[in-house]
Chain A
Amino acid sequence: MSQLAIKSLSKSYKAFKVFEGLDLTADAGEIVVIFGGSGTGKTILLRLIAGVEEPTSGVIEIGGHDVADIAPEHRGVGMAFQNFALFPHMSAAENIATPLRAAGAAEDMVQSGVARVAKLLKIDHVLNHAPRELSNGQKQRTALARALAASPQILLLDDPLRNVDAKLRFEMRLELPRLLRQSGATVLYVTQDYKEAMALADRIAVLANGRFVQTAPPEDIYMRPATLGVARLFGDPSINTADTVIASDADGAHVMIGGRRLPIAPAHAARAGRAIILGVRPEAVELTEGDGLEAEVVAVTPLNERVVLLLQTPGGWEFLASFPATARVPEAGARVRTRFSEAGTHLFDRDTGERLDG
């Protein structure tokens, strides 16, 4: 039985529909990342689950029970807010102790509980500080500690790394999975950083246009994006696209790209004539000595541990190729031949953006 289940959940404010008909389940101990751009209603979804806002329609079940009539304080969830939402008139220790005290724990249990999570999150040295005396990173850890303190069955984390600096975000991205596993809680984690989503998730639910476009493990989201939108959201640099049309002749199904023929899976032959968008991951572009798409190297840009090439075909199509920083790459102005690995090449319907499987 799933620990958390959302069934055809909808939320709208007057005429404005935030989302409609959301379905999602999470098993005990599972980390589900809700991924989506700003304004897609990720935070609102967490608020509905926490019970501080009411859904327009739909059902939320926690541990198999409909929680519609259960007040937020009785839902047994922990939540960390994007803006931390610490209680400014209490010390860090009192902030963390809040859920334990509310549960009626004895004083020594409260103290040991606070000490335990504080040590886990490495904030035991600032427990006596007021929130205003904490750095952003410490505030964020305090907020996280408060959410974890009472060992809730369900942990709702609303983009907790949004307001901390890049270095700390990187550290926390490494630290969080272990922390969350240790807590044993079912975690719903909201973020709009795809790397964070990939690093943390057992499953990612991509929220766009008021619905879950795809709910799948991180590898699937990346390797088999359900729509062009999802493909664009995951990956840096973003996926290359080209408008083209499926064609089929005696030599099999293919598309024309940059004036050259690119064979595609035979199953696509049935879709001949369909207008599509070809998506090619920059990592899927390979340089080849043999036959391949001609292109000129326009620019070479190092990007973190990768090096990115901007290429242009004689027909004028510009696309990016990404290689490990250690790879030998041609210089700007060089003429190269390229081909695309099958795993990183995707076909999407031009009208609906839906993935077309071969």
Chain B
Amino acid sequence: MDHTSTLEKVLRGVLITLVLVFFLFPIAWIFLMSLQTNETILRIPPSVVFTPIIDNYTALITGQLRTAAGSLQLNFMQNMFNSVLLSVCSVALSLLLGVPAAYAFARFKFRLGEDIAFTLLSFRFAPALLVLLPLSLYFKSMGLTNTYIGLIWVYQLICLPLILWIVRGYFEDISPDIEHAYRIAGNSWWKTFTRISIPLAKPGIAAAGLLAFIFAWNNFIFALILASADKQPVTVGALAFVTASGIQYGQIAAAIIISITPTLALALYAQRYLVEGLSMGAVKG
């Protein structure tokens, strides 16, 4: 491809740089903030020259937050653990339930099928606050308030519809003839599902799983209302940095850096599945 002129190359470079700056600058800025004290962050005039410190990170990891008003207990690492546990378990449960359901919706026409699928999707229409009041009452009477199981259950409202609808589309794109061919070759339907349908829908399952993970990870309101401090994820835990003696910008920045690391790593890892082509040339056209 030697058709691109120098001008095009330069323009392309400039545009890519602009996009990268737009998206990466906040992350870089936060990263720089995380290495400074509140004083250097807030000094006037601001400056990019500072002596980096790692106090913010040590404070988060040890759980000791020293402020002007004295020492404060932090359970950020507990929040972090909660986030990982809640997100991983929610997505795992959603995949376990959602992938077979997506297959059923894609392959079989059954009574009320479309209605059920749409109802599941509609869970995402309602604002979370709308369902929270009845949910918190139910949770109280069922003893699910402030339990991991209760939270994972509620997180299905976020993950399940996403996985169901994305994966369903991928299953629909697989020619039924490919599955038929595998069955006629002498394999049971279960083997066909696990050896043909799931591997072929893998890019879709990876994409849906990743999205669901990010949505679950970023959720704030469910855990805020339905759980107390020891079960809350980082999104809620970050509130602790708003202290009596002011907002701890340095620690917030460090907390953000730590808390985006898992999703960032996961996204980078799953990227190759996301870009992997769908139709791999098995069926004509």
Tell me the nearest residue of chain A to B199, going by C-beta.
A89
Shortest beta-carbon distance, A281 to chain B, in Å?
35
Measured in the bound complex, the distance between the Cα atoms of B283 and A87 in whole Å is 9
Least Cβ distance of B257 to chain A in Å? 38
Q: Is A50's beta carbon under 8 Å from chain B? A: yes
B284 to chain A, nearest CB (A): 5
Q: How far is the CB of A169 from chain B (nearest CB, A)?
A: 14
* CB closest chain-A residue, reference B191: A102
Q: Tell whether, in the assembled complex, residue B284 and residue A136 are in contact, meaning their CB atoms are under 8 Å apart.
A: yes
Contact indicator per residue, chain A 10-53, by CB within 8 Å of chain B (1) or not (0): 00000000000000000000000000000000000001001110
What class of interface size applies to chain A in its complex with B?
35 or more
Q: How far apart are B185's CB and chain A's nearest CB, in angstroms?
A: 4
> Shortest distance in angstroms between A263's beta carbon and chain B's nearest beta carbon?
52
Stretch in contact with the other chain, from A71-79, A233-241, A315-323: A71-79
Residue of A nearest to B180 (CB): A52
Residue-wise interface mask of B (183-195) relative to A, using a CB-CB cutoff of 8 A (1 in contact, 0 not):
1111111000000
**A73 lies within 8 A of B284 (CB):** no
Distance, CA A146 to CA B180, complexed state (A): 13
**A83 x B284 contact (CB < 8 A):** yes
Identity of the chain B residue whose Cβ is nearest the Cβ of A156 in the assembled complex: B184
Query: Is A81 among interface residues, defined by CB-CB distance under 8 A?
Result: yes
A131 surroundings in chain B (CB, below 8 A): 280-282
Chain A residues contacting B178 (CB-CB under 8 Å) are: 85-88
Flag if B181 contacts A81 (CB, 8 Å).
Answer: yes
A99, B280: Cα distance in complex, Å: 21
Question: Does chain A have a CB within 8 A of B200?
Answer: yes
Given contacts A73-B186, A102-B187, A103-B186, contact A87 B282 (CB under 8 A): yes
- Contact check, A73 vs B177: say whether CB atoms are below 8 A apart: no
Question: A134–B281 Cα gap in the complex (Å)?
Answer: 9
User: A143–B187 Cα gap in the complex (Å)?
Assistant: 17
Please, how many angstroms separate the alpha-carbon atoms of A81 and B189 in the complex?
19
Contacts of B199 in A (CB 8 A): 89
A242 at the interface (CB under 8 A from B): no
**A126 on the B face (CB < 8 A):** no
Closest to B183 in A: A72
**0/1 interface trace, chain A 233-271, chain B, CB 8 Å (1 if under):** 000000000000000000000000000000000000000
> Which residues on B sit within 8 Å (CB–CB) of A99?
185-186
Whether the pair A130, B186 counts as a contact (CB closer than 8 A) is no
A163 to B285 alpha-carbon distance, docked (Å):
10
User: B281 to A83, Cβ gap below 8 A?
Assistant: no
Query: Are A79 and B281 closer than 8 Å at their CB atoms?
Result: no
Selected contact of B282 from candidates A52, A73, A84, A103, CB within 8 Å: A84
- Whether A122 is near chain B, meaning CB under 8 Å from some CB there, is no
Cβ of A98 within 8 Å of any chain B Cβ, yes or no, is yes
Which residues of the partner chain A approach B184 to less than 8 Å between Cβ atoms?
Answer: 50-52, 72-73, 75, 77-79
Residues of A with C-beta under 8 A to B188? 71, 73
**Contact with B177, one of A78, A81, A98, A163 (Cβ below 8 angstroms):** A81
Can you list 24 contacts pairing A with B, beta carbon distance less than 8 Å?
Answer: A47-B180, A51-B184, A73-B188, A75-B184, A81-B181, A83-B283, A84-B283, A85-B178, A85-B282, A87-B181, A88-B279, A88-B280, A88-B281, A88-B282, A98-B185, A98-B186, A99-B186, A102-B185, A103-B186, A130-B281, A133-B281, A134-B281, A143-B181, A146-B181
Q: Which 7 interchain pairs have the tightest Cβ spacing?
A: A132-B281, A102-B186, A88-B280, A88-B282, A85-B177, A99-B185, A85-B181
